[in-house]
Structure 1
Amino acid sequence: MALKVELKPNERIIIGSVVIRNDEQRTRFFIEGDAPILREKDILTPATADSPAKKIYLAVQLMYLAGSATHQHEVYFQLVRDFLQAAPSALPHVSEINNCILSSELYKGLKSAKKLIAYEAELIENAKRV
């Protein structure tokens, strides 16, 4: 079954290792086959990965796009170690990401990493109140 994708004007999408940018009009197309796909709203770049949790997300994103859990493996685990040292309460979120990576469910790992980003924002907000 094909994946139906609708792109807004000028929206970007990554399919495999290619970035596609839409023209000025809304577009609908169907993707048949198996390739990593990320919509613009889910893409982080090194410049936009401006927090520890976002850097973890970026590492998982690069694993997903490469189709390999071993890609960025060392970088990912160093980032996770540093994050957990600063925020041990994030262990359940990190464990969820790790389980996704170990079971080769890298897209689910990205979703779990988004939860970690939200948790990090919550921690920062709580720290500002204190």
Structure 2
Amino acid sequence: MSLKIRLAPDEKIVINGALIQADGRCSLVFLNNCSFLTEKHIMLPAEANTPARRIYFMIQNCYMATDMERPPLLDALKHLVEDFHAATTVQSIKDTLDHIRELVVGGEYYPALKLSEVVMRHEDRHLGNGSWTEGRKKAEAAERRR
């Protein structure tokens, strides 16, 4: 089964750890399994500034890491999830964190990454934050105005 992704000019994608930038509008067709994230799904270290965002960031790093790099990242992720689980009183978020743990243990990093967005949205609502992608869009717009 193949997967086709369209990239805009100058859009970036990470494929199996390699950062690739489109020099024009293009399509990529993946004919086998690989780890990839498009630019809009890549959280930068400075954006991992809340507990839920650190969970997303660490899952992202586990997903992109090599087998040799992954063990210490998984250990750090385990502690982040445990801390959030202990701190929240919302059962649905506890259940979501439990599901994230199961996915990570099974090596299903991309589904765990997508599920961690639920935890981030919950945290953003309770902290009154905008989403991390909204913050990025505002920063990019400000940079273009300069």
Fold match by TM threshold 0.5 = yes
Larger proportion of helix? 2
How far does the alpha carbon of each residue in 1:67-120 deviate from its partner, in whole angstroms, 9 at most, with x for none? 656351221122123223332323112112111112221111011111111111
Unpaired runs of at least 5, structure 2: 129-146
Q: Distance in 1 between matches of 2:72 and 2:30?
A: 25
How far apart are 1:9 and its partner, in Å?
A: 1.5
Q: Distance in 2 between matches of 1:95 and 1:67?
A: 24
Q: How does 1:107-122 map to 2 (within 5 A)?
A: 107-122=110-125
How far apart are 1:13 and its partner, in Å?
A: 0.5
Deviates more, 1:66-75 or 1:113-122: 66-75
**Counterpart for residue 44 of structure 1:** 43
**Counterpart for residue 84 of structure 1:** 85
**Counterpart for residue 25 of structure 2:** 26
Q: Distance in 2 between matches of 1:93 and 1:29?
A: 32
How far apart are 1:22 and its partner, in Å?
A: 1.2
Q: TM-score, normalised by structure 2?
A: 0.76
Is the alpha carbon distance of 1:36 and 1:105 closer, same or farther for their aligned partners in structure 2, counting shifts above 3 Å? Answer: same
Question: Which SS does the other structure have where 1:70 is aligned?
Answer: helix
User: What's the RMSD between the two structures over aligned residues?
Assistant: 1.7
Is the alpha carbon distance of 1:109 and 1:67 closer, same or farther for their aligned partners in structure 2, counting shifts above 3 Å? Answer: farther
**Counterpart for residue 58 of structure 1:** 57
Q: State how many pairs are aligned.
A: 124
How far apart are 1:50 and its partner, in Å?
A: 1.6
The answer as to whether partners of 1:63 and 1:71 remain within 8 angstroms in 2 is: no
**Amino acid in structure 1 at the alignment position of 2:79:** Q
Q: How does 1:91-106 map to 2 (within 5 A)?
A: 91-106=94-109
Unpaired runs of at least 5, structure 1: 126-130
Task: Check if 1:75 corresponds to 2:76.
Answer: yes
- Identical-residue share of aligned pairs (%): 29
Q: Distance in 2 between matches of 1:8 and 1:99?
A: 34
**Counterpart for residue 128 of structure 1:** none
How far apart are 1:5 and its partner, in Å?
A: 1.3
